[in-house]
Chains A and B, each alone.
Chain A
Amino acid sequence: DAGITQSPRHKVTETGTPVTLRCHQTENHRYMYWYRQDPGHGLRLIHYSYGVKDTDKGEVSDGYSVSRSKTEDFLLTLESATSSQTSVYFCAISEGGGPAYEQYFGPGTRLTVT
């Protein structure tokens, strides 16, 4: 987890409320990713970023938006949280893009939507 922090680490929120999760890195890596991890599913990519203000969708992007205004910060926003978004969210970084580069993960945020 060195060099990557996520906040908050735990959050309980109500359906319909907006939620923002923050990922902060001190490694100056260009690529940053947001995943969710649920029982019965592997890690699934929500959005990723390949530079400041450069982002793209992953396989489960519906209901989520992201922003990256600085190299070190990548924000994930749930505009109107739903119970199906209850999950553990992981941020990851990599030095380069694509599968040839290993990814380094943060400690995760456990989000519960009631």
Chain B
Amino acid sequence: SQKIEQNSEALNIQEGKTATLTCNYTNYSPAYLQWYRQDPGRGPVFLLLIRENEKEKRKERLKVTFDTTLKQSLFHITASQPADSATYLCALSNAGNNRKLIWGLGTSLGVNP
């Protein structure tokens, strides 16, 4: 069956370090993968989109990689700050006829000062 897996355990790191979050998928052939941030009590906020033919995408302190062989996307936040503490969601879509986004459960990141 199709499955998206994000680290279920919270990730806690020290301010200034690089946070790396993982999104693994099985039985999908995603054409697009998106990352969102969600704060408690609020809606998700779009961060980055990467296509299947792109290996890496960057935006300021954020970097996303997409490895279709490993069936994995990594999301990096460099020089992390306490304000980066949130839950991070990955969402992907098949290349097939049903191209709606399918969402992971998210990983909670805590950045300690």
- Check if A90 sits within 8 Å of B43, measured CB to CB: yes
> B45 to chain A: which residues have CB within 8 Å?
105
What's the A-B contact tally at a CB cutoff of 8 Å?
A: 57
> B51 to chain A: which residues have CB within 8 Å?
100
Q: Report the interface size for chain B: residues with CB under 8 A from the other chain.
A: 24
A104–B91 Cα distance when bound, in Å, is 13
With known contacts A99-B92, A107-B43, A108-B42, A43–B31 Cβ distance under 8 A = no
Other-chain residue from A48, A102, A106 in contact with B43 (beta carbon distance below 8 A) = A106
Q: Report the interface size for chain A: residues with CB under 8 A from the other chain.
A: 22
8 pairs, A vs B, C-beta closer than 8 Å? A1-B43, A43-B91, A48-B100, A58-B100, A90-B44, A98-B93, A98-B99, A99-B92
Closest 5 CB pairs of A and B: A105-B43, A99-B93, A42-B103, A102-B46, A99-B32
Given contacts A99-B32, A100-B51, A105-B45, list 15 more A-B pairs with CB under 8 A: A42-B4, A42-B106, A43-B103, A44-B103, A48-B100, A90-B43, A99-B34, A99-B91, A99-B100, A103-B44, A104-B46, A105-B43, A106-B43, A107-B42, A108-B42
